[in-house]
């Protein structure tokens, strides 16, 4: 799911978890992955920068990143994914 917004917008953690990955990842550009337990992970891509590092414990509402336009992106936005048991699922089910 992509969320369009102004370059430099703050990205917040949607739930408690532990930061698994902070890296530049090909077409996703600067990315973060958070493990929320129970085989649920979230991924954030095309970031300008990360405000967290691997191993950080985050709480819902913590600032985790700055929205950008890195990787294969045509404008500033956040690419947001939720994976359950390693499979991408519709984020709307979890965000409602």
Half-sphere exposure of 71 (CA within 13 A, CB side): 21
Structure tokens at 69: 């336009």
pLDDT tens digits for 28-77?
Answer: 999 999 999 999 999 999 999 999 999 999 999 999 999 999 999 989 99
Q: Distance between CA 80 and CA 28 in Å, rounded?
A: 10
Q: What integer pLDDT is reported at residue 71 of this predicted model? A: 93
Q: Tell me the C-alpha to C-alpha distance, in Å, between residue 40 and each of 36, 76, 96.
A: 5, 26, 16
| Residues paired with 66 in a beta bridge | 10, 49
pTM of the prediction? 0.93
Confirm if 2 and 77 have CB atoms less than 8 A apart.
yes
């Amino acid at each position: 799911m992509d969320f369009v917004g102004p370059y430099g917008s703050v990205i917040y953690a949607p739930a408690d978890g532990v930061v698994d990955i902070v890296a530049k990842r090909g077409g996703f550009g600067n990315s973060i992955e958070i493990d929320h337990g129970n085989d649920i992970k979230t991924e954030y891509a095309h970031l300008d920068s990360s405000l967290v590092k691997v191993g950080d414990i985050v709480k819902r509402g913590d600032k985790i990143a700055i929205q950008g336009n890195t990787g294969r992106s045509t404008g500033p936005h956040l690419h947001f994914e939720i994976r359950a048991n390693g499979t991408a699922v519709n984020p709307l089910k979890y965000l409602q």
